[in-house]
């Protein structure tokens, strides 16, 4: 897949750095991981465009800039335990594996969950466990998590995810607005017994299934 190396470099220099992503570990992970391996073969030619890439099944690979800004905001350390919700074919989980000590990746679609498991095997990634399960429930058995990433937009943040944050844990997601397609990159941090919320940037990201507002946490 060396034919895509130039596209990866262009993505970094034209999409990632100009949008104030400066975390060297995030940039290195994006530069190393072949994004084209996580999209259907017919879509590999557009794997590095600054758009969400259709995967089928009503799902998308998140726009590189949006994903990079969320990961930077999460301030992932090498000692962290991370949860990726809605991991799709595993790209975001594989990136997170390069940043965190341990990653649990939840995906409710059986086909995408199998693709994610296969990707971890293909790339020799040993610190990711892919779980098939509902996006809105997170994964309580391995909680608490230092970092939680939503790989897709949510109407609001589900209560179970908030409950699975460790002290000083960081949750990052695109929270969809009232207008279709509108959303905000959002950072939620657990502070003692409560949480704080900060809006980071505008983002238009396709929604994850199963994250309707009625099951959401109200800030």
Q: What is the pLDDT along the chain (219 residues), one digit of tens a residue?
A: 578 999 999 999 999 999 999 999 999 999 999 999 999 999 999 999 999 999 998 899 999 999 999 999 999 999 999 999 999 999 999 999 999 999 999 999 999 999 999 999 999 999 999 999 999 999 999 999 999 999 999 998 999 999 999 999 999 999 986 554 579 999 999 997 789 999 999 998 999 998 866 444 444
Among the listed residues 85, 82, 72, 67, the one whose alpha carbon sits nearest the alpha carbon of residue 169: 82
Which CATH code fits 65-215? Answer: 3.40.50.150
- The total of other beta-carbon atoms located within 10 Å of residue 114's CB is 15
- Bridge-based pairing state of the strands 145-154 and 59-61: unpaired
- The total of other beta-carbon atoms located within 10 Å of residue 76's CB is 26
Helix (H, G, I), strand (E, B) or coil at 82: strand
How far, in Å, CA of 158 to CA of 162, rounded? 7
Report the half-sphere exposure of 202 (CA within 13 A, side-chain side): 3
């Amino acid at each position: 897949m060396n034919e895509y190396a130039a596209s990866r470099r262009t993505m970094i220099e034209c999409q990632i750095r100009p949008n104030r992503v400066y975390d060297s570990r995030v940039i290195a992970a994006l530069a190393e991981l072949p994004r084209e391996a996580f999209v259907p073969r017919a879509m590999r030619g557009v794997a590095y465009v600054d758009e969400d890439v259709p995967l089928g099944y009503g799902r998308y690979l998140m726009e590189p800039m949006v994903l990079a800004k969320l990961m930077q905001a999460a301030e992932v350390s090498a000692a962290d335990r991370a949860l990726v919700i809605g991991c799709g074919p595993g790209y975001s989980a594989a990136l997170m594996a390069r940043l965190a000590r341990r990653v649990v990746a939840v995906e409710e679609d059986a086909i995408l969950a199998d693709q994610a498991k296969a990707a971890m095997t293909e790339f020799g990634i040993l610190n990711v466990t892919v779980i098939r399960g509902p996006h809105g429930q997170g994964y309580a058995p391995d909680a608490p998590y230092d970092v939680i990433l939503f790989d897709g937009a949510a109407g609001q943040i589900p209560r179970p995810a908030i409950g699975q944050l460790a002290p000083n844990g960081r949750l990052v997601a695109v929270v969809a607005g009232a207008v279709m397609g509108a959303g905000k990159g959002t950072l939620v941090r657990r502070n003692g017994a409560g949480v704080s919320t900060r809006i980071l940037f505008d983002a238009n990201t396709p929604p994850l299934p199963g994250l309707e507002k009625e099951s959401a946490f109200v800030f």
